[in-house]
Amino acid sequence: MAAYSAPLDDFKFLLHDWLKVTDNYQAMNKGDFDADLVNEIITQGAKFAEEVVAPLNLNGDNQGCRLEDGKVSTPDGFAKAYAEYIENGWNSMLGSEIYGGQELPYSAAIPVHEMLMSANVSWRLICGLTESAVLALEKHGSDELKDAYLPNLISGEWTGTMCLTEPQAGTDLSLLTTKADNNDDGSYNITGTKIFISGGDHEWTDNIIHLVLARLPDAPAGVKGISLFLVPKFMPDGSANDLSVGSIEHKMGLHGCPTCVMNFDGAKGWLVGAPHSGLACMFTMMNDARFQVGLQGVGIGEASYQGALEYAKDRLQSRAPQGIQEPEKKADAIIHLPDVRRMLLTQKSLVEGSRALGLLYAKQMDIARFGTPEEQANAEAIIAFLTPITKSFFTDMGQEVSQHGVQVYGGHGYIQEWGMEQHIRDSRITQLYEGTNGIQALDLISRKLVRDGGKLLSVTNELFAQMVSDIADGSSRDQASGILNDWHATAESLLGTDAVATAAKAYDFMQYSAYSLIAICWLSMADRAQTSGNALAQSKTKVCDFYLKRIFPRASAHKISLALDEHDLMQMTADEF
């Protein structure tokens, strides 16, 4: 099994040569985060991912989680690694300084998150959900709740969850039935069952803080009647709350992360935000979680690529069709085979292109947090538009790249001890949770494009137009401009379509958008690598060439489908299937 090695050179190129994040920090009065400090953060993060978390991955997958006497235990070493994680301050990277956080720029923290995803996504998942819970509480919680819970959540002394899904209510949260009864002392009794709760219980911390969607007795029907409640495992006085783990799920992947059925039996909780505004409050958490899930796709994809590359260089099979490449050996390594190179380059171009778009997104998150009011508004619009793209495309990409990883290994890829088939199993859920990728596609085209009248599209287009204008090479700039203009015109042509037509075009618009925007990122990266004199210049140029010639043409097929009506999809009756 290949040992994970963090792609530090790529992160440094993207942050400093391509995005020039330290210039951005200066403009936002965060100048103390210079290049040296950022490099030290990601270097130490790489060391922790490589040496502490990654070695736990295979055993964690084999051992899984256990539920005994109502208590959940995670695989050996997981809790110890978490204790080291919080001791070294990694959990507090993004938290508000008011409550003990470090308030790092997102662009300095996101590389660490991706590296942890590559090293052991099951382990990282619980930490990521805590960070999302912190965001929701920071934005919507009362001062009393913030003072009582944020310091320990930010430090990592406690972890957090989000409790949305019920057996009958998945995507359609209007169907949820968990109820909240007022105790007339500022607290509520929460009663109901939630399923698919990642990190719902474990032995890592002394307390787990659940953010639970429920209905007040006077709640209107539908999603407008949902409220959000903070429900701790243990009460402020140390007594156990009235909640329990009904079971843990036996899953295809992510064996090291406990996915729990949580029973709330009149558990005491406190309202977060205004009554009946729970969905809006939860979306603060969910949107962050959706981007983090996208990073899971990138992280798993990187790990799969690294494993495939190492094996391709070592595995000897026959002679290369272009002639003997390694005469001192009995056969040539399979990396000399054109089809193996096709798979490796597909992996590399998709992972590195997605990483670039993800860090561009992180830069916008910095602006949304630290910029001027006008800059914040623009950044928030871009984030809103790109969130479904990063969640959906990155996770589709992670699954595709993992499939290639197994294929490079041949029969050995199908065997558990090599670690490659685990990437397929672990990445499969990323296309499902935090909103299936079909739902993400529908959100992009219906809410972020059509319903918004193209406003978010316009702001996002301006961001990429600036990127295009910064390309020094004239032919590359013209090519990038053509891609951007075509994407923008195609997107505008979809405005005004009816609901059925919009839904029918959702998947193709998502894919077309992602391939197009990543193509622009590749042209920009290749150009910047050349002008900066970075050691990665030759690699970036050649991988860009591969992406444009062999991956980007996929966008044309999706564009053709966008021009079709929905008739062929809808003409059959249900009985004819």
Contact (CB, 8 A) for 8 and 355: no
> Both tokens of residue 483?
């891609």
What distance in Å separates the CA atoms of residue 41 and residue 269, rounded to the nearest whole number?
Answer: 37
pLDDT tops 90 at residue 287: no
CA separation (Å) from 187 to 130, 191, 266, 413? Answer: 22, 13, 11, 53
Whether residue 118 is found in the same domain as residue 171 = no
What distance in Å separates the CA atoms of residue 436 and residue 83, rounded to the nearest whole number?
Answer: 32
Domain-ending residue, one of 258, 280, 302: 280
Domain-ending residue, one of 280, 296, 317: 280
Q: What is the mean pLDDT of residues 318-323?
A: 96
**What CATH number did the domain enclosing 87 receive?**
1.10.540.10
Give the chain's count of helices (H) and strands (E): 18, 9
Q: For residue 136, what pLDDT is reported?
A: 93
Contact (CB, 8 A) for 211 and 161: yes
Q: For residue 536, what pLDDT is reported?
A: 85
DSSP state, residue 52? I
Number of domains in the chain: 3
Q: Is residue 550 part of a domain?
A: yes
CA separation (Å) from 52 to 81, 121, 557? Answer: 6, 13, 44
Q: For residue 532, what pLDDT is reported?
A: 82
When computed from its CA atoms, the radius of gyration of the chain, rounded to whole angstroms, is: 24
Contact (CB, 8 A) for 202 and 208: yes
Q: Is residue 217 part of a domain?
A: yes
Contact (CB, 8 A) for 291 and 393: no
Q: What is the mean pLDDT of residues 424-445?
A: 97
What are the tens digits of pLDDT across the range 258-275? 999 999 999 999 999 999
Whether residue 452 is found in the same domain as residue 568 = yes
Whether residue 261 is found in the same domain as residue 220 = yes
pLDDT tops 90 at residue 359: yes
Mean pLDDT of the chain: 96
> Both tokens of residue 408?
């490079």
Whether residue 446 is found in the same domain as residue 560 = yes
Q: What is the mean pLDDT of residues 316-320?
A: 96
Helices marked H in 371-454: 373-409, 420-428, 437-442
Q: Is residue 295 part of a domain?
A: no
The neighbouring-strand residues paired with 259 are 198
Q: Is residue 292 part of a domain?
A: no
Contact (CB, 8 A) for 223 and 280: no
Q: Is residue 170 part of a domain?
A: yes
Whether residue 571 is found in the same domain as residue 451 = yes
Whether residue 105 is found in the same domain as residue 126 = yes
What distance in Å separates the CA atoms of residue 48 and residue 275, rounded to the nearest whole number?
Answer: 42
What distance in Å separates the CA atoms of residue 285 and residue 469, rounded to the nearest whole number?
Answer: 35
> Both tokens of residue 360?
């561009």
Whether residue 138 is found in the same domain as residue 195 = no
Q: For residue 363, what pLDDT is reported?
A: 98
What are the tens digits of pLDDT across the range 490-538? 999 999 999 999 999 999 999 999 999 999 999 999 999 998 877 888 9
CB atoms within 10 A of CB 134: 27
Q: For residue 81, what pLDDT is reported?
A: 98
> Both tokens of residue 231?
């429900």
| Main-chain phi, psi angles of 35, to 5 degrees | -60, -40
| Main-chain phi, psi angles of 94, to 5 degrees | -100, -10
> Both tokens of residue 128?
């990521």
DSSP state, residue 53? I
Q: What is the mean pLDDT of residues 454-458?
A: 97
Q: For residue 280, what pLDDT is reported?
A: 87
Q: For residue 285, what pLDDT is reported?
A: 81
Whether residue 165 is found in the same domain as residue 148 = no
Whether residue 177 is found in the same domain as residue 141 = no
Q: Is residue 525 part of a domain?
A: yes
Whether residue 210 is found in the same domain as residue 93 = no
CA 343 to chain CA centroid, nearest Å? 23
Domain-ending residue, one of 126, 152, 178: 152
Domain that holds residue 263: 161-280
**What CATH number did the domain enclosing 245 receive?**
2.40.110.20
Q: Is residue 100 part of a domain?
A: yes
DSSP secondary structure string for all residues of 525-556 = HHHHHHHHT-TTHHHHHHHHHHIIIIITTHHH
Q: What is the mean pLDDT of residues 23-31?
A: 92
Task: Count Cα neighbours of 219 within 13 Å in the Cβ-side half-sphere.
Answer: 28
Whether residue 216 is found in the same domain as residue 275 = yes
What distance in Å separates the CA atoms of residue 112 and residue 47, rounded to the nearest whole number?
Answer: 10
Is residue 62 very low, low, confident or very high in pLDDT (cuts 50, 70, 90)?
very high
Is residue 282 very low, low, confident or very high in pLDDT (cuts 50, 70, 90)?
confident
| Main-chain phi, psi angles of 198, to 5 degrees | -65, 130
Is residue 394 very low, low, confident or very high in pLDDT (cuts 50, 70, 90)?
very high
Is residue 172 very low, low, confident or very high in pLDDT (cuts 50, 70, 90)?
confident
- Catalytic residue ranges: 434
What distance in Å separates the CA atoms of residue 257 and residue 82, rounded to the nearest whole number?
Answer: 13
Cβ-based neighbours of 550, under 8 Å, separated by 6 or more: 342, 345, 346
- Of 242, 262, 244, the closest CA to residue 183 belongs to 242
Cβ-based neighbours of 7, under 8 Å, separated by 6 or more: 302, 355
3-state secondary structure 199-266: CCCCCCCCCEEEEEEEECCCCCCCHHHCEEEEEECECCCCCECCEEEEEECCCCCCCCCCEEEEEEEE
Q: Is residue 380 part of a domain?
A: no
Whether residue 191 is found in the same domain as residue 141 = no
